[in-house]
């Protein structure tokens, strides 16, 4: 098996990333040594994916320190730069978490900060391998058909994380166990993370797959073409409501109707116990041009405006299982992330 690419690393003086906007036609590596460039890379989605953003947040603090030292920044300037990274994208809690975790170590010196940032990367990879194994175990216990046909959305692989992937980690684990028939990959408009990134990772690993329009997901599920849907998460509220790439909710509704499992895979850091329900999650509305233009081509009349939310909220009642490195919660059966918040809802899984 080929090792999946490392999307994020620290060169000693800069952050190195694979530019996800150039895939699949070009494997372009960016070496970023300026905070301005990092904020821009985050905002134009050159780096994206909740766990990857956590790692980038941590390394961003290290980069701010390095640039501050080179350019003689004051402490206030340095913290303002760190805040800019922290706020580059509002919905993904991991970005802010990664920033805060490394910022908290600044008093211990640059080496401690770097160590903390690299720990985020290492811990995320370990978490993903655990998520992959436990998610595969759960699916093999709860779904009888062999080989399995899986639906996924957006990109949750080695590009979106430190390595291996979350939902795509489960898919990789199923593949390694030789029980996977095919993966249906939603193309994931408007930025095509499914067709550009997930298909690229699956092709690299030799995993059979088909890319479909996002709008086909419901009919693929109700038509009996898949046995389980496995997706990632950008933020999970205390009650289990999950913010993830726009389109996730529609898949969950289809799985509920067809009575097949809808599985969310995410590291524990994605769970935000300070957010009681999905209603408290800010949904990022992205630029019209992302949806209404393709390069220089206008796809709609010039006067037309867009509604372009980056995420949707899937209510906990639609989530069959939430897989983290700590185990599997059967959310729709009342096993919520914050079990103390709603004890009355706890029931024995069916």
Annotated catalytic residue, options 205, 214, 227, 234: 234
**268, two tokens:** 């524990």
Q: Evaluate whether 125 touches 165 at the Cβ level (below 8 Å).
A: no
Which residue, 189 or 345, is less far from a second copy as judged by CB?
A: 189
From the CB of residue 240, how many other CB atoms can be counted at a distance below 10 Å?
A: 28
Nearest to 186 by CA among 148, 224, 145, 232: 232
Element (H, E) at 42: helix 35-43
- Minimum CB–partner distance for residue 302 and a second copy (Å): 8
- Minimum CB–partner distance for residue 107 and a second copy (Å): 42
Q: How many Å apart are CA 9 and CA 184, to the nearest integer? A: 30
**For this structure, is 234 an active site residue?**
yes
- Minimum CB–partner distance for residue 67 and a second copy (Å): 35
Nearest to 231 by CA among 256, 266, 260: 266
Q: How many Å apart are CA 108 and CA 111, to the nearest integer? A: 8
- Minimum CB–partner distance for residue 55 and a second copy (Å): 25
- Minimum CB–partner distance for residue 181 and a second copy (Å): 13
- Minimum CB–partner distance for residue 7 and a second copy (Å): 17
First to last CA, the chain: 37
**34, two tokens:** 């300026």
Q: Evaluate whether 93 touches 270 at the Cβ level (below 8 Å).
A: yes
Which residue, 31 or 203, is less far from a second copy as judged by CB?
A: 203
Q: Is the peptide bond before 147 cis (omega within 30 degrees of 0)?
A: yes
What CA–CA distances, in Å, run from 142 to 139, 250, 315, 320? 5, 22, 21, 11
**269, two tokens:** 């850091």
Residues that bind a second copy (CB under 8 A): 24-25, 184, 186-190, 192, 195-196, 199-200, 202-203, 209-220, 222-223, 225, 245-247, 249-250, 253-254, 257, 291-292, 294, 297-301, 303-309, 312-313, 315
- Minimum CB–partner distance for residue 311 and a second copy (Å): 8
Which residue, 137 or 181, is less far from a second copy as judged by CB?
A: 181
Q: Evaluate whether 185 touches 211 at the Cβ level (below 8 Å).
A: yes
Q: Evaluate whether 70 touches 46 at the Cβ level (below 8 Å).
A: no
Which residue, 122 or 203, is less far from a second copy as judged by CB?
A: 203
Which residue, 306 or 326, is less far from a second copy as judged by CB?
A: 306
Q: How many Å apart are CA 284 and CA 195, to the nearest integer? A: 22
**194, two tokens:** 């499914």
What CA–CA distances, in Å, run from 222 to 3, 226, 257? 35, 9, 8
Catalytic residues: 234
């Amino acid at each position: 098996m080929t090792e999946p690419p490392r999307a994020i690393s620290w060169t000693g003086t800069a952050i190195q990333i694979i530019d996800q906007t150039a895939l699949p036609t070009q494997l372009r590596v960016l070496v970023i040594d300026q905070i301005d460039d990092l904020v821009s890379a985050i905002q134009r989605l050159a780096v994206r994916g909740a766990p990857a953003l956590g790692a980038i947040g941590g390394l961003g603090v290290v980069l701010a320190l390095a640039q501050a030292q080179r350019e003689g920044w004051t402490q206030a300037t340095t913290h303002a730069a760190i805040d800019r990274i922290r706020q580059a994208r509002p919905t993904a809690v991991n970005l802010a978490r990664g920033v805060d975790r490394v910022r908290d170590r600044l008093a211990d010196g640059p080496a401690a900060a770097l160590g903390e940032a690299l720990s985020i990367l290492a811990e995320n990879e370990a978490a993903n391998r655990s998520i992959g194994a436990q998610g595969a175990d759960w699916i093999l216990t709860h779904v009888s058909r062999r080989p399995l046909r899986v639906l996924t959305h957006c990109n949750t692989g080695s590009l979106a994380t430190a390595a291996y992937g979350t939902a795509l980690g489960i898919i990789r684990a199923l593949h390694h166990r030789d029980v996977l028939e095919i993966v249906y990959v939603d193309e994931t408009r408007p930025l095509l993370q499914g067709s550009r990134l997930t298909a690229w990772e699956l092709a690299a690993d030799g995993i059979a797959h088909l890319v479909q329009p996002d709008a086909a997901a419901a009919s693929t599920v109700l038509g009996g073409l898949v046995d389980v849907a496995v997706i990632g998460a950008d933020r999970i509220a205390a009650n289990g409501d999950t913010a993830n790439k726009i389109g996730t909710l529609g898949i969950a509704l289809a799985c509920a109707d067809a009575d097949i499992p809808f599985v969310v895979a995410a590291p524990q850091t994605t769970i935000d116990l300070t957010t009681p329900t999905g209603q408290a999650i800010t949904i990022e509305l992205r630029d019209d041009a992302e949806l209404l233009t393709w390069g220089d081509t206008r796809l709609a009349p010039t006067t037309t405006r867009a509604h372009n939310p980056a995420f949707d909220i899937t209510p906990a009642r639609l989530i069959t299982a939430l897989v983290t490195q700590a185990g599997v919660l059967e959310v729709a059966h009342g096993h919520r992330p914050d079990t103390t918040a709603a004890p009355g809802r706890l029931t024995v899984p069916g």
